[in-house]
Amino acid sequence: MLHAPRALVVPSLLLLAACRNGESPSTTAVTIVPSPLAAAGCTGPDQTFTPPQTPTAEVLATLVIGASSAVCAAGDSETLYATGDLGQIVELDVSGGAPVETELVAAGTIATYLNGLGIGAPPELGGICVLDAGSLLVADKTSNTILKVDRATPDTVELWAGTPSTTPGFADGPAVLPTADCPIGASRFSFTSSVALCPTGSTGSTVYVADPGNHALRVVTSGCVVTVCGLGSAFSFDGSLASAGFDTPSGLSVRCSGSLWITESGGNKLRELAFGSAGFSGPTGTVSTIAGDGTSATVQGDGEAAQLAAPVSPLATSEGDVYWIDSATGILRRMSGGQDTVDCPLWSDCASALADFTPGGVLSLTQTPGGVLYVLDADAGTLFRVTP
């Protein structure tokens, strides 16, 4: 029976670093470094809005947006990447304003590849991110895997993490093939809803994964998939990495301080995971609630006095703000870096706010290096530009 090891919280490379040559465990806090090539957090400027402000719909000619489509921005150019309804992936050059589209992965390519791995059902692509200068990562909900896509060579796809299966699972182990760090087992995910992929600037292509079906935060590094935190069931409460729980984590973003923002769509909260020092069994750490009292509503307030409605797709800026979308109400939210007030930035206040995007829809938010926000509204089949 496949299961996730409880409290196995860090890849062995960090454990080895802490214990090499009989050294004592580090007392320095482990921090997460934002990726310079991916818009994974701590990126771009804070925004200036002029409420009430209506997002602008962009016209897309090539991409047909699907039910689980998502968008991400590159950190090295004014470029977006978006997934489509038949497993397509399109590159969008937005440096000149209106998107200029280039099909990177054609319809049918990923289906053919997965069929060779024993998956006969059509792919349903979810979360997407820029891994590095040469590649993207995209989560496929059908096979419960993460695929690697070449940014320069069309229709070039390979398996990056997870054992292909239409049946969700929860197991740590080799991302694909056994390694010295992960000699046995097979990693499994449960991508039952919105999947978030958050690459970091750490060596070894370290990527954090919000695994919604397993209500857990996972990490892929040095060829290993490891459970960082989460108990496998929908329990939303704070505590240490070994004891804290999530209810459907839906999004991830790196803070400039070196921690992670985590949106929790089932628990209606914004959470923070901050690592402590590295011990013999890996780094310690805590998960705490930053905003939301657990009630599903879009209500302005300070910290846990605010109410969130199935938040998704957090975005931490270089100046300390964090944005996300309340997917249940379709409203853009913001928490200012200098204070913990949670508001609705496209409106004068949350009490008068109307849906900016499809309520109850599949929504993803990203920001280009130039400071322009984009939202892909899968249910509306539309890419929106929010600023300027």
* Digit-coded pLDDT (tens) for 237-254: 999 999 999 999 999 999
Percent with pLDDT over 70 in the chain: 91
CATH classification at residue 53? 2.120.10.30
At 27 the pLDDT is 61
- Average per-residue pLDDT for the chain: 90
- pLDDT level of residue 8 (50, 70, 90 thresholds): very low
- Over residues 108-121, the pLDDT tens digits come to 999 999 999 999 99
**350 SS3 class:** helix
- Are 265 and 327 within 8 A, CB to CB? yes
Nearest residue to 135 via CA among 109, 108, 105: 105
Q: Domain for residue 19, yes or no? A: no
At 204 the pLDDT is 61
Q: Domain for residue 1, yes or no? A: no
C-alpha dihedral, 380 to 126 to 85 to 43, nearest 10°: 60
For the record, the structure tokens of 274 come out as 């901050």
Domain count, the chain: 1
Rounded to whole angstroms, the Cα distance separating 76 from 131 reads 11
Q: Domain for residue 17, yes or no? A: no
Residue 42 has pLDDT above 80, yes or no: yes
Residue 296 has pLDDT above 60, yes or no: yes
Q: Which pTM value belongs to this model?
A: 0.92
Of residues 198 and 46, more confidence is placed in: 198
Q: Domain for residue 203, yes or no? A: yes
- Are 166 and 142 within 8 A, CB to CB? yes
Q: Domain for residue 10, yes or no? A: no
- Are 259 and 274 within 8 A, CB to CB? yes
CA geometry: angle 129, 131, 135, nearest 5 deg: 100
Q: Domain for residue 13, yes or no? A: no
Q: How many residues does the chain have?
A: 388
- The residue segments making up the domain with residue 365 are 28-385
- pLDDT level of residue 16 (50, 70, 90 thresholds): very low
Q: Domain for residue 132, yes or no? A: yes
Q: Domain for residue 2, yes or no? A: no
